[in-house]
Every structure is written in structure tokens, then in C-alpha cells.
Chains A and B, each alone.
Chain A
Amino acid sequence: MIIDTRDFGRVEVDAGSVFAFPEGLYGFEKDRTMALFVRTYDDIPFLYLQSVTNTVPCFLVFEPVDLFPGFAPEVDADDLKALEATTSSELMFLLIANVPDSVEGLSLNVKSPIAINPKTKIGRQIILQNDDYSLRYQPFSAEEGRDA
């Protein structure tokens, strides 16, 4: 299907990469269908999660393994039920990125990731109880010994 995107005009996305978000995302409750697509810059692939019905919201997202290895979300029963999954191992997780003017300050929302059930094509933004997971984890600042 072809969708209007925030950053790339009209983009063709694979039907298999379109997910239902029955409750939308926090602050964007009306956007109930989101598409995932890749854009490559300088050989580096970037993943975007884009509303199908509006050009906003659009999020740059990362799989945890790339920038937050060891991500171990404790997904609660209500969230699993909403995603029609029985264990969190069935789910794929995406972390929303926020990119400040200086890109080294890139931060990831590890506290409330996007959970997707690839089988049922249902997605949901969940809020984890893990206390050490931050809304603004900075992978590169932490590396340099500064507070995340």
C-alpha cells in the first residue's frame, strides 16, 4: 500500500509491515494503523514507524539489540492479552528515538517501548515497570561516562 509519510512523501509499504494499534500510541490515540519501513543512508538502515492515516506521528525506531543490548522487558498480563500473545518471547520490541541537534545526544525511550506481535499484526505501546529503564536513555553519552 502507498502511504503519505512525514519525511519521504509517498512511500510504498509492504502489507505485512502494517500493524493495528487498537489504542493508538500515547498522545496519538486516533492513529490506529502504523506502518514500518526502512530507509537507508550511507549503507545504514533506519527503521521508521509511521501513521498510515496521518503524516504525524512518525517515529525513528530501533530494535533494542542495536543500542540497548540486554533489554529484558517484563510485559504484564494485560499487555500480553491485548497483543494476543502468551509470552513476551513472541513479541518484537522497538524503541522510539529522539534525536537532538547534536546527534550524539540521541535518546531512546526504553521505559515505554512499542511491542508488536508479528503473528497477529497487533502493536501496542507498553509501559514497563522496570525502574532502571528510562524514557530518555542516551546510549552514546553513557558510553562516555556521562549520566544517561
Chain B
Amino acid sequence: MLVISRKAGESLVIGDGITVSILSVGSDKVAVGIEAPREVQIVRAELLDVIEANREATNTDAKPESLAQLFKQKNIRPAQGE
């Protein structure tokens, strides 16, 4: 991994058209400003895992019939919603 030290107010450029600026540095947080072309998606890394989990969940069949059997077996009765 390339490691570059930067101070608040300094920036660096990635490829053609992406500029990363260090806006401020706190004790445990750094504010980063990013300028990039519209088509470049920028997300916090931990969000990628959540996005993947959501996609997986909506892409799989909920199999309620089989789940109902399992819940009966385990004596679990989900709440009625509201």
C-alpha cells in the first residue's frame, strides 16, 4: 500500500480527475473531501458489507413455508407486526 503523509489543507490526486483533500484532522477523526467524476461511486468501506448483505437478502427466496415449520418445531411465534 502506498502511504502518503498529508496535513490539513493539503490534497492528492488519483488518476484523471479524482482529488482527495484533507480538510481537518481531529484527535480520532479526519475529514476528507473528495472531488471525482459523477460516475465514480464513493462509499464508506463498512457500507459495502451492508450493501452486500441487503442485496443477498432481497435476492433470496424467503421460504416462509419451511420457516413456519422450523418455528413451530422450535416453538417460536413471531409478533404480529402491529
Q: Among B50, B72, B81, which residue has its beta carbon within 8 angstroms of that of A135?
A: B50
Q: Which of B49, B69, B74 is A140 in contact with, Cβ under 8 Å? A: B74
Q: Is the CB of A46 within 8 A of B62?
A: yes
- Are B62 and A99 in contact (CB-based, < 8 A)? yes
Which of these, A27, A37, A43, A65, contacts B54 with CB under 8 Å? A27
Known interface pairs A45-B78, A66-B78, A140-B74. Does A56 touch B58 (Cβ–Cβ under 8 Å)?
yes
Q: Count A-B contacts at CB 8 Å.
A: 115
Contact with A along B27-70 (1 / 0, CB 8 A): 00000000000000000001101111111111111111111111
Residues facing B in A14-70 (CB within 8 A) are 16-17, 25-28, 36-39, 41-48, 56-60, 62-63, 65-67
Tell me if A112 and B62 are in contact (CB < 8 A): no
B72 close to A42 (CB less than 8 A): yes
Q: Report yes or no: B67 in contact with A99, Cβ–Cβ below 8 A.
A: yes
Overall SS of chain B's interface = helix
Residues on B lying within 8 angstroms of A by beta carbon are: 46-47, 49-72, 74, 76-82
Subset of 21 A-B contacts with CB under 8 Å:
A26-B47, A27-B55, A38-B80, A42-B68, A44-B64, A45-B78, A45-B81, A46-B64, A48-B62, A56-B59, A62-B78, A63-B78, A65-B79, A67-B76, A97-B57, A98-B56, A99-B62, A106-B70, A127-B46, A127-B47, A127-B50
A sample of 16 more A-B contacts (CB under 8 A), given A98-B53, A103-B66, is A16-B82, A26-B54, A37-B81, A41-B67, A44-B64, A44-B77, A46-B67, A56-B58, A56-B59, A59-B54, A96-B53, A98-B60, A99-B67, A104-B70, A111-B50, A125-B54
